Structure 1
């Protein structure tokens, strides 16, 4: 069985959680609790490019906020 995250022909979503963490997600799989769709459905590479452009600090939001204090 092929890993659905590696299928370059599939449609994908970009998800985000309440800590601003992003995830590439297969479009046919239900969105897990605590995550919302931020982009898509779209091609895998387009979603990866979106994540690269928009998720520039991988630390969870609560850690970033502590660093600002």
Structure 2
């Protein structure tokens, strides 16, 4: 058992231009095309945040084409 906290224990919620959400290890640089939404926490906390905020799974471009 390790006493040090694994750096992967802290994640940040990220979103892309299509308003699709994901999580990313906080200590790593974000991949191109993704931006932090300002929420960090454990993996479970971040996934719960996404579940609460990403209510329409369709990409933004598809929602716009279909009027909604």
TM-score scaled by structure 1?
A: 0.78
Where does residue 45 of structure 1 map in the other structure?
44
Task: List per-residue Cα deviations over 1:36-64 (Å, max 9, x = no partner).
Answer: 10133211111111000000111110000
Runs of 4+ with deviation above 4 angstroms: none
TM-score scaled by structure 2?
A: 0.79
**Which consecutive residues of structure 2, in runs of 5 or more, have no partner in the other structure?**
1-5
1:29-40 counterparts in 2 under 5 A? 29-40=28-39
> Highest Rg: 1 or 2?
2
RMSD, aligned α-carbons: 1.9
How far apart are the structure 1 equivalents of 2:67 and 2:26?
36
**Which consecutive residues of structure 1, in runs of 5 or more, have no partner in the other structure?**
1-6
Q: Is 1:22 paired with 2:21?
A: yes
How far apart are the structure 2 equivalents of 1:56 and 1:40?
17
